[in-house]
Amino acid sequence: MTGARLILGKDVSEGIYSELRDRIQALKGKGTTPGLAVILVGDDPASQVYVRMKGKMCEELGMRSVTITLSATTTQQELLARIAEINRDPGIHGLLVQLPLPSHMDEDAVINAVDPGKDVDCFHPVNVGRMLTGDPVFLPATPAGVQQMLVRSGIETSGRHVVVVGRSNIVGKPMAAMMMQKGEGADSTVTVVHSRTKDLPSVTRQADILIVAIGKPRFVTADMVKDGAVVIDVGTNRVDDHSSPKGSRLEGDVDFDSVKLKASAISPVPGGVGPMTICMLMANTVAAAEAAAGVIR
Ligand code: GUN
């Protein structure tokens, strides 16, 4: 291989946003403006950035955006009360609580409190179960974004060996579940590898499509990748960089410079999967608003 084709979330998301704009216009014509509420507890700087980006994208698309910022000392009971309030609000179609939560809160209890019909993160056990059985209401944003990158880049997934590196609830587990389903952008043979896997490189080398979400900078090196593989890097690691004005930079889980020489297609960090997460979150919110307005798709 002399160099891989780049798969850029920015390009892929543009196509999806253009479809969403049409659907939002149609909804507004029926008197419904899709609304997303985001709850942020505490002052984690990365979470603040993500929450701001979500609100900004809602506004750009002409959707309603409500951001609720609560202090790090908020009690779990107070948070649950705010969630219950939004669950009842007919003008809000999607609700998400930004993670991580302060350590005194029980994350599962908070996730379980979100109305499954408004759970645009697809974190509620009801929605995780429906995704697993192949009858999804929502799909989780980051794995759904990866799947759209594959589909819209014309990458065949049927019958191909997908190796997922990482087993988180947000990416690895749902990613594996989605790729093994029947249908477009799936029908794959799936293997999941993680920190306890023995001889992990011998498995990643078998991947036709390698999806990496392990949260370790430059974890995947060229010797772990088969010639011609498609490599999707979900990693977003902030690493020290004294040559940058910020003092840090974003690095993926893949050693891009060496792996790009071996892969047939690769997503970079930043600019790869990143823009897809918010895009798919917007798509879930529009879908929730359509369901509330009785639009059949
Ligand atoms: N924190 C990191 N990723 C996510 C996400 O997809 N949703 C929420 N709610 N919090 C996150």
Question: What CATH number labels 30-117?
Answer: 3.40.50.10860
Stretches where the chain sits below pLDDT 70 are 1-2
pLDDT score at 203: 99
Which of 25, 43, 44, 54 is labelled catalytic? 54
pLDDT score at 3: 81
Does 30-117 match 140-275 in CATH topology?
A: yes
| pTM of the predicted model over 0.95 | yes
Q: Which of 95, 170, 173, 276 to mutate to test the pocket of ligand 1 (most atoms within 8 A of CB)?
A: 170
**Which residue from 11, 64, 14 is spatially nearest to 38, judged by alpha carbons?**
64
Q: What is the DSSP string of 55-118?
A: HHHHHHHT-EEEEEEE-TT--HHHHHHHHHHHHH-TT--EEEE-SSPPTTS-HHHHHHHS-GGG
pLDDT score at 242: 95
Tell me the CA–centroid distance for residue 84 and ligand 1, in Å: 20
pLDDT score at 283: 98
What are 230's strand-pairing partners?
209, 265
CA angle (269 as vertex; 223, 54 as ends), nearest 5 = 145
* Pure H helices in the chain: 9-29, 45-61, 76-88, 107-113, 125-132, 141-152, 172-179, 200-204, 256-259, 274-292
Domain range list for the chain = 30-117, 140-275
pLDDT score at 80: 98
Report pLDDT digits (tens) over 17-41. 999 999 999 999 999 999 999 999 9
Which of 119, 121, 233, 255 is labelled catalytic? 121
Q: Which of 36, 99, 281 to mutate to test the pocket of ligand 1 (most atoms within 8 A of CB)?
A: 99
Closest residue to atom 11 of ligand 1, CA basis: 99
Closest residue to atom 9 of ligand 1, CA basis: 98
pLDDT score at 2: 61
pLDDT score at 296: 85
Q: Which residues line ligand 1 (CB under 6 A)?
A: 96-99, 121, 141-142, 170, 277
Kindly indicate whether the domain formed by 140-275 is annotated with CATH number 3.40.50.720. yes
